A and B are shown apart, each in its own frame.
Chain A
Amino acid sequence: MTTSVDSETKRGGPRALHASALARSRWRTAFLLSPPLLWFLVIYLSSLLLMLVTSFWSVNDFTQQIDHHLTGANFAQISSGAYVTIIWRTVLLAALVTLTDAIVAFPFAYVMARIATQRTQRILLGAVLLPLWASYLAKVYAWISILEKGGALNWTFSKLGLPDPNLGFTNGAMWIAFCYIWLPYMIVPIYGSLERIPSSLLDASADLGGSSWSTFRRVILPLALPGLLAGSIFTFSLTLGDYVTPLLIGGSNSTLIGNAIYENLLTGGNLPLAAALSTVPIVIMIVYLTVAKRLGAFEAL
């Protein structure tokens, strides 16, 4: 390879020179990329692959050792009974959190992108990013403090003369906490896509007699859709695999896929079943990403 390049260089000519430069830049790229790619290949991708293989193993009931014979038993187990309920609950909650965050985020992102002055826009963006970077556990714990019996929510309701909502340690508490924690991940991409809409398009819609409602429905919403979808990827995916929030703020009926994985691995000692359960969020996310890509989620990001 090197000799042929050398001989070409000796013969001279711009084409030969180009070839040697190209070869050099290829070597440079390979040299730069190999350490990070090796890290991902050796540590991350091979672990994922091993996890997939593990999901077809089993645990011997007597010895508690992993039996390396391939079996579909784990998948049979998670596609029936209690696990199906858990999977449905997780998917429904993730969808509900995503929908709520989209509704809460959209008007906020709209004001940020299209109404606020540049200064206010910057302040609002900071106000969204700061809570995004506040500690995850601090946010969950804050909601425990607010929603539990002696918390600020019950206090506010009693001051207003309303009955105690007593939301602490319920599925409702889990829903509120998830919506809160992932909200910035929804606002930022919607803001990004709304900010990019040229004002001329909105003017054109108004000039052609479109009411503000029809401008919203037929111009703004379709153009903001990629941002909405991108945000939904995070709210959906992050809810799908979480076990910390359900464990801390949820009730007895708040077991999600993440909890099932966590318990099987760390307390049940059943790594193969935990691995099989881990494939569920992966499959759901692959389907979700494929649909989102079809709808153009990655285009205007």
Chain B
Amino acid sequence: MRRRLSRLGLWLWVWAVLFFLFAPIVTIILFGFDRSNVETWPIQHWTMHWYSVAWNDPQVRSAFVLSIKAAVAATVLSLLLGSLAAFGVHKARFFGRDSISLLLILPLALPGVITGVALNSAFQWTGITLSIWTIIVGHTTFCIVVIYNNVIARLRRTSNTLLEASADLGANTLQTFRLVTFPTIATALVSGALLAFALSFDEVIVTTFTAGAQNTLPIWIFGAIRLGQQLPEVNVVVTMVVILMFIPILIAARLTGTENFAPRVAAARKSD
């Protein structure tokens, strides 16, 4: 009896936490359809008006384009650097191997403001003007670990016998890579790229310190909330960002499962 009661209590707790996790997200989506200028719960009149306002807002549009550009560039760069790091660390036995994982996770484990100030002081010191390129450099630095995690997890699970078989059958290193290694890690690469894209697309803290005069979408949202301007539009834009992030995330989950899905947590896992 007591056991059943405690089970019941635990399940109630689970439902309460689920409510806590999802109620705010649902609220924000609903407020996007609120006709009123001033948010009041419950919503009285419904409208799609703010969607067309946001869609036609040139500031939102240019911020959106900048965010996409930066996220794509950061994803491509971190795909390259992250998979190189994963291939280098995998199988290699050398001193300080574990420190590499630690180094790569550092920009995600330390508060973003530190990466931001560090990069900002370096750009100021070297006289580099802040632009889309400095945003890309900042984003790449914390996205590399996402790709690294995904690729190294896949490499560890791939059996060596496949590569040996390929070599035995006369394939050279490049052929083995093209015909065996690459197809086995392809989904891990795509999934990692989607996660890196989402991470970059949503980033606000590092971006604040590395962006020049132009706004990315999160910077625009941050500014609008802070100044209390265009709030009905903010609801819509924020909803769009949530949806735009969920699409790559769901695809990534389909491709590789959710094992490396919390980038910070996964990266802290001890490499073995």
Q: Which residues of A contact B (CB under 8 A)?
A: 25-26, 29, 32-33, 35-37, 39-40, 43-48, 50-51, 54, 104-105, 107-108, 110-112, 115, 124-146, 148, 150-152, 154-155, 180, 183-185, 188-189, 192, 212, 230-231, 233-234, 237-238, 240-244, 247-248, 258, 261-262, 265-266, 271, 274-275, 278, 281-282, 285, 298-299, 301
Contacts and interface: CB of A to CB of B under 8 A. Distances in A.
B113 A243 contact: yes
Contacts of B264: 185, 234
A202 B114 CA distance: 43
Interface in B134-155: 137, 140-141, 144, 148
A21 to B, nearest CB: 13
6 contacts: A46-B122, A129-B258, A141-B221, A150-B39, A192-B265, A261-B113
Contact of A108 (B14, B109, B242, B246): B14
A143 B27 CA distance: 9
Interface stretch (B53-61, B84-92, B160-168, B178-186): B84-92
Interface in B63-111: 80-82, 84-85, 87-89, 92, 94, 100, 103-104, 106-107, 109-111
A50 B122 contact: yes
Nearest to A249: B225
Nearest to A44: B141
A193 B47 CA distance: 47
B226 A248 contact: yes
B115 A44 contact: yes
A155 B27 CA distance: 13
B7 A115 contact: yes
Nearest to A285: B110
B11 interface: yes
A35 B204 contact: no
A134 B242 contact: yes
Given A40-B141, A146-B24, 15 more contacts: A36-B82, A44-B115, A47-B121, A136-B202, A138-B241, A141-B221, A145-B28, A150-B40, A150-B41, A155-B42, A188-B265, A241-B110, A244-B222, A262-B113, A265-B117
A133 B246 contact: yes
Contact of A141 (B13, B28, B265): B28
Given A135-B241, A138-B241, A241 B81 contact: no
Contact of B265 (A35, A135, A180, A189): A189
Counting chain B residues whose Cβ lies within 8 A of the other chain, the interface size class is: 35 or more
A7 B140 CA distance: 44
Contacts of A105: 17
A236 to B, nearest CB: 10
A65 B20 CA distance: 49
Contacts of A26: 94
Contacts, number: 258
B178 to A, nearest CB: 17
Contacts of B120: 265, 271
B225 A248 contact: yes
Contacts of A43: 119, 122, 137, 141
A278 B246 contact: no
Contact of A29 (B40, B88, B114): B88
B124 to A, nearest CB: 6
A48 to B, nearest CB: 5
A33 B100 CA distance: 10
A176 B190 CA distance: 35
B27 A135 contact: no
B48 interface: no
Contact of A242 (B13, B205, B239): B205
Given A36-B84, A180-B20, A241 B104 contact: no
Contacts of B225: 137, 140-141, 144, 248
Contacts of B31: 145
Nearest to A104: B17
A241 B106 CA distance: 14
Contacts of B234: 141
Contacts of A46: 122
Given A130-B249, A137-B241, A258-B113, A39 B204 contact: no
Contacts of B171: none
Contacts of B262: 129, 132, 184-185, 188
A217 to B, nearest CB: 14
Contacts of B249: 129-130, 133
A278 B120 CA distance: 12
A261 B117 contact: yes
B24 A48 contact: no
Given A54-B121, A142-B27, A29 B205 contact: no
Contacts of A275: 117, 121
A244 B17 CA distance: 24
Given A36-B84, A241-B111, A271-B121, A25 B28 contact: no
Given A132-B262, A136-B204, A180-B20, A282 B85 contact: no
